[in-house]
């Protein structure tokens, strides 16, 4: 976890049990290209990212799209674009519409057309500009929905 994530995790307005529990961007091969957890991790990031990619691939084989699943008391929501999957794990009291709004906000800060300019597209998600914008969206979400945890 970098210093910025630690700052968000320890922000005075964010409860110890935050509404947004983890956020991961996975490429279709199953590699996590970005990951942040706002709770103590008990889940292996590599295993989870591979599982997410497999679930998306499986749902596509069935001719549908996976939007959400629930595992171990956490609701996971998915949004895909090109070769990437955005996955957010939310506290169960967060409504699906709020989780989808969060994913839409993240989706909108990605300059999808710029990805083609990167030899390794995953590098884009490590740029300072992207991380700063994403961390701001996460902080705002954590503060806005902290009342759900009470």
Structure tokens at 48: 């989870």
* 134 falls within a domain: yes
Q: What is the pLDDT of residue 1?
A: 44
pLDDT tens digits, 107-132: 999 999 888 878 888 899 999 999 99
Task: Output DSSP code: residue 82.
Answer: T
* 79 falls within a domain: yes
**Short-list 9, 25, 3, 21, CA closest to 130:** 25
Domain residue limits at 93: 3-145
Q: How many domains does the chain have?
A: 1
* 69 falls within a domain: yes
* 94 falls within a domain: yes
Q: At what angle do helices 128-144 and 96-109 cross, to 10 degrees?
A: 160
Q: Please tell me the pTM assigned to this model.
A: 0.85
pLDDT tens digits, 4-62: 554 555 566 655 667 888 999 999 899 999 999 888 767 788 898 999 999 999 999 99
Task: Output DSSP code: residue 119.
Answer: S
* 150 falls within a domain: no
3: pLDDT strictly greater than 70: no
* 64 falls within a domain: yes
CA–CA distance, 68 with 85 (Å, rounded to integer): 12
* 15 falls within a domain: yes
Q: Where are the alpha helices (DSSP H) in 27-95?
A: 45-61
- Residue 54: which CATH number? 3.30.450.70
**Short-list 54, 62, 61, CA closest to 78:** 54
* 121 falls within a domain: yes
């Amino acid at each position: 976890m970098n210093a910025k994530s630690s700052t968000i995790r320890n922000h005075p307005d964010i409860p110890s049990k935050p509404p947004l529990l983890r956020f991961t961007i996975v490429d279709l091969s199953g590699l996590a290209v970005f990951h942040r957890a706002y709770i103590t991790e008990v889940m292996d990031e590599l295993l989870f990212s591979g599982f997410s990619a497999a679930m998306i691939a499986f749902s596509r084989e069935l001719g549908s799209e996976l939007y959400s699943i629930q595992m171990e008391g956490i609701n996971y929501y998915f949004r895909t674009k090109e070769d990437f999957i955005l996955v957010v794990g939310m506290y169960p009291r967060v409504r699906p519409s709020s989780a989808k709004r969060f994913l839409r906000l993240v989706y909108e800060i990605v300059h999808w057309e710029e990805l083609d300019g990167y030899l390794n597209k995953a590098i884009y998600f490590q740029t300072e500009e992207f991380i700063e914008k994403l961390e701001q969206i996460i902080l705002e979400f954590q503060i806005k929905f902290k009342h759900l945890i009470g």
